[in-house]
Structure 1
Amino acid sequence: MKTTNSIIKLLAILFISTITFTACSDDDHDEDDHDHEEELITTVTYTLTDGNNNTLTLVWEDIDGEGGNAPTITNGTLSANTTYTGVIKLENATETPTEDITVEVKNEGDEHEFFYASSVSGVTITKTDVDKNNNPLGVETSVVTGAAGSGTLTIILKHEPKKPNTGVTDAGGSTDVEVTFTITVQ
């Protein structure tokens, strides 16, 4: 009986030690020792410019953050069979002056990646910029439209995705922002 109690005590000590060491492990994987406090993204602006300098600006704005009021969304219409240059900008409008979060995303490009998906047949979006390791970043894009149609365009920014990856489902990481626009191609 005394041996059984000793074994139970020993197992309990080993179990508690394992929990303590596991809870104290450094699993941040952050070589640069950045704080990575999540930034508040209140505004996503995706500007598309065609070869004739015609510009379409899609804007998602949620000044009060999650909850509260619904975001204000400016959707848009693209021309059929046209190539656009795209640039995305992220902002925190609760700061004075407004904070440009895109600067941080570019500076920490190896820890971020944008993903774009459209439900409109014939619309393809290609990332045209890369991070310091030559992996896609997605602040800058090329958008090519096909025939007329309508649907959605979803933009997702992932933090600490696996790079390289085969797309958003393979990327892992956490989602910093996800917005959906309604678009029409005509």
Structure 2
Amino acid sequence: MKTTFKFLPALLFAAVLISCEDDDSPVQINEDELITTVEYQLTNTADATNVVTFRQVDNDADGPNMPTVTITGTVLAGQTYTGNVRFLNELESPVENITEEVEEEGDEHEVFYGVNTAGVTINKIDNDADGNPLGLRTNVSTGSAGSGSLTITLIHEPVKPNTGLTSAGGEPDAIATFNFNVQ
């Protein structure tokens, strides 16, 4: 009985300390951002007037409506392009540029490009803070005329370094597929 009373004051003191902790501190939650739009713009390095924009808008996310896809401009054979991809939430006003967050958290993101048009290569030219590829900026080289498709995939928390999309793991934040024709 005496042993119980010896520990009782210490137990009450610990309870008071725990109850006095600051519960008003904000909790940092990094929820997935809504990405409604994927936009990939190519600019010909030899002719800055040759600009091609691939744009997919999906305002209902996984809803029943299909995304709207537009492609403006013409990809020319035998050319080199610089590419810039943007991820947007156009349901916000003003439009929220998710690309800025992807760049800031580059170690937690990577953009992958899958193209099956013959003679086309896409190389990532930017890196995250750890020196691993990020993929917001690219170089694109075209061969002869042909057609195929281009898929852009933004992965959240990929394994870095990796050997490509199949070994990256993580979760897709956005996937956009376009016809990719070279004339």
TM range, smaller chain = 0.7 to 0.9
Aligned residue number for residue 122 of structure 2: 125
Q: From the superposition, tell whether residues 135 and 71 of structure 1 become closer, same or farther in structure 2 (CA, over 3 Å).
A: same
| Alpha-carbon distance in structure 2 between the residues aligned to 1:145 and 1:35 | 42
Pair 1:75-2:71 in alignment: yes
Aligned residue number for residue 108 of structure 1: 105
Are the equivalent residues in 1 in contact too, given 2:52–2:71 (CA < 8 A)?
A: no
Please give the residue correspondences for 1:100-179 in structure 2 after superposition, counting only pairs within 5 Å. 100-179=97-176
Structure 2 stretches of 5 or more lacking a match?
1-26
| Alpha-carbon distance in structure 2 between the residues aligned to 1:150 and 1:75 | 14
* TM, length-normalised to structure 2: 0.81
Q: From the superposition, tell whether residues 107 and 72 of structure 1 become closer, same or farther in structure 2 (CA, over 3 Å).
A: same
Which of 1 and 2 has greater Rg?
Answer: 2
Question: How much is the aligned-residue C-alpha RMSD, in angstroms?
Answer: 1.2
Are the equivalent residues in 2 in contact too, given 1:75–1:183 (CA < 8 A)?
A: no
SS at match of 1:78: coil
Are the equivalent residues in 1 in contact too, given 2:156–2:172 (CA < 8 A)?
A: yes
The aligned length equals 154
Counterpart of 2:61, as a letter, is: G
Identity rate, percent: 53
Structure 1 stretches of 5 or more lacking a match?
1-32
SS at match of 1:105: helix
Are the equivalent residues in 2 in contact too, given 1:44–1:91 (CA < 8 A)?
A: yes
Aligned residue number for residue 15 of structure 1: none
| Alpha-carbon distance in structure 1 between the residues aligned to 2:124 and 2:28 | 26
* TM, length-normalised to structure 1: 0.80
Counterpart of 2:90, as a letter, is: A
- The partner residue of 2:36 within 42, 50, 60 is 42
How many angstroms does 1:144 deviate by?
0.4
Deviating above 3 A after TM superposition, structure 1's stretches of 4 or more consecutive aligned residues are none
Are the equivalent residues in 2 in contact too, given 1:125–1:144 (CA < 8 A)?
A: yes
